Chain A
Amino acid sequence: MMRASGYVVLLSLCLVAPFSRAAAQGDPRLERLDEATRPVVVALIDTARAVGLPVNPLVERALEGAIKGAPGATIATAVRRLAADLGRARDALGSGASPVELDAGAAALRAGAGPDVLTRLRRARGHRPVTMALAVLTDLVARGVPIDTATTAVLTLAATARDEDLVDFRRAVERDIAIGAPPAAAASIRVNAAAREARPGRP
C-alpha cells in the first residue's frame, strides 16, 4: 500500500515533470540520450530533485537504458518508476535515510517486499545502515528464494547481524542453491543455523 507522500511523489512526476524547468539539463551525462528523450528524463529528474529524492540513481538508470538501446519511452518509464520507488522507500525508511539506503530500499520494493518490511528492517537495524540487509533481501529473491522466506530470514538476522554476517549468510544460501538445494529450504536452513550460532549461552 502506497502512503500519501508516495502518491504525492508519483503525482508530481506525472503532472509537474512535463512543465518543469530543466535544471538537470546541465548534466553532461544526459547528452547521451537522444533529443526526444532527454527533455522528458531531465524533467523527471528535476522533479525528483525538487521533492528531495536522490537523482544519481535516476541518471544512471537513464544511461543504462541509453547504452542498451532501449526506446525513449521505455527509458522514461523506467526512470519514472524508479523515482516512485525511491519515494515509497523514503516513506518507509524515514526522511533520514541515506541515498544508498533509498536505492537499496527501492530495489527491495521492486523485488516484492512491502513497505512495512522496510520499516521493520529499519527498526531492527537501529542506528546501523540498513543498506546491506535490504540488498541481501533483494539478492535472495533474485536467487529464487520466495519473498516471504527471504523477508523472514533477513528480519531474523537483522537485529544482531553485522553487514559481514549478512553477506556470509547470503553467500552460504547461494552456495547451497548452486549445488542443488531448493532456494526456500536453503534460506530456512541457513537462517536457523545462523540464529543458533548467535543465540547467547550456546555450548
Chain B
Amino acid sequence: MFDDDAVERVVRYLRRSVRIDPALDHRVMEEIAALPAGPAVPAGGVWRWLTGRRLTLTPLGALGLAAAFVVAVVGVWRVRAAPDAVEPALRGFQFVLVEPHAANVSLVGDFNDWDATRTPMHRTPGDGLWSAVVPLEPGRYRYAFLIDGRLWVADPTAPTTRDDDFGAPSSVLTVGGL
C-alpha cells in the first residue's frame, strides 16, 4: 500500500521535535480567568436551618444522647481494633486418600491431638476417594490415615517422617509463615 519512503517520511514527521511557546501557560490561565463564574453553591440555607433553631434536651434525652455517643465511639473502636486481634490466618488444607475397600477412614495427626474421632474423612459417592479439609495455622504437622480403626497408612502424596518411632508410618505437612 505505502512504499518505504512514504512510511519513513511519516515516521520522521511524527518524531520531529515540537517547540511549545513559553507563554502558553500564561495564555491558558488568562482564558480561564476570563470565563464567567459558575452558579453559587446554596450552602447558606443549611447553615440558617442549623443555627436558627434552639434545641432543648430533657435530662433523660441528654442521657440517651450520651449513651448513643458512647455506643458509637465503642463501636468504631471495636471495628478499628478487630484486625489487630485476628489470630494467624488459618488456611484450609484438603487431605485425600484413595481406598475403595475401606468402610471408614479417619485423618489423625498433630492438628487434632491424634484423636481418631475428631476428623472423619468423607467418601465421594461412587468411588473410593476419601477426603477431609482441615484449617491449619503455620506450623509443622505429622499425620496419618487410620483405615477401619486398625490400619495406619501414610499419605502417599506427602513426605514420610524419618523418625518412625512407633512402627507405623506418618507423613509430614509444613505450613509456611512462622
> Which residues of B sit under 8 angstroms from A77, Cβ to Cβ?
165
Most buried by B among A29, A57, A64: A64
Find chain B residues with CB under 8 A from A69 CB: 166
Could you tell me if A131 and B140 are in contact, using CB atoms closer than 8 angstroms?
A: yes
Q: Does B163 contact A (CB under 8 A)?
A: yes
Q: CA separation between A30 and B141, bound complex, in Å?
A: 19
Residue of B nearest to A62 (CB): B114
Determine whether the beta carbon of A67 is less than 8 Å from that of B116.
yes
B contact residues, range:
20 to 34
Interface flags for A130-166 (1: CB within 8 Å of B; 0: not) read: 0110010011011100000000000000000001100
Establish whether residues B159 and A139, one from each chain, have CB atoms under 8 Å apart when the complex forms: yes
Chain A facing B: main interface SS: helix
Contacts of A75 in B (CB 8 A): 166
A107 touching B114, Cβ below 8 Å:
no
Q: How far is the CB of A33 from chain B (nearest CB, A)?
A: 11
Q: Which of B63-106 contact A (CB under 8 A)?
A: none
B178–A78 touching, CB < 8 Å: no
Query: How many whole Å from B10's CB to the nearest CB in chain A?
Result: 33
With contacts A64-B166, A100-B140 taken as known, whether A138 is within 8 angstroms of B159 at the C-beta atoms is yes
Chain A residue contacts of B128, Cβ below 8 A: none
CA distance A63 to B152 in the complex (A): 15
Among A64, A70, A131, A167, the residue within 8 A (CB) of B142 is A64
* Closest residue of B by beta carbon distance from A103: B140
Report the minimal beta-carbon distance from A123 to chain B, rounded to whole angstroms.
19
Q: Do B162 and A110 touch (CB < 8 A)? A: yes
Does B159 lie within 8 Å of A100, measured CB to CB?
no
Tell which of A64, A111, A112, A163 touches B176, judged by Cβ atoms closer than 8 Å: A163
In the complex, A167 Cα to B159 Cα: how many Å? 12
Chain B residues with Cβ below 8 Å from A91 are none
A residues with a Cβ closer than 8 A to B are 29, 57, 60-61, 63-70, 74-75, 77-78, 81-82, 98, 100-101, 103-104, 107, 110-112, 129, 131-132, 135, 138-139, 141-143, 163-164, 167
* B residues apposed to A, CB below 8 Å: 108, 110, 113-116, 138-140, 142, 152, 159-163, 165-168, 170, 172, 174, 176-178
11 contacts between A and B (CB under 8 A): A60-B142, A64-B166, A65-B166, A67-B108, A70-B165, A70-B167, A100-B139, A100-B140, A107-B140, A135-B140, A142-B159
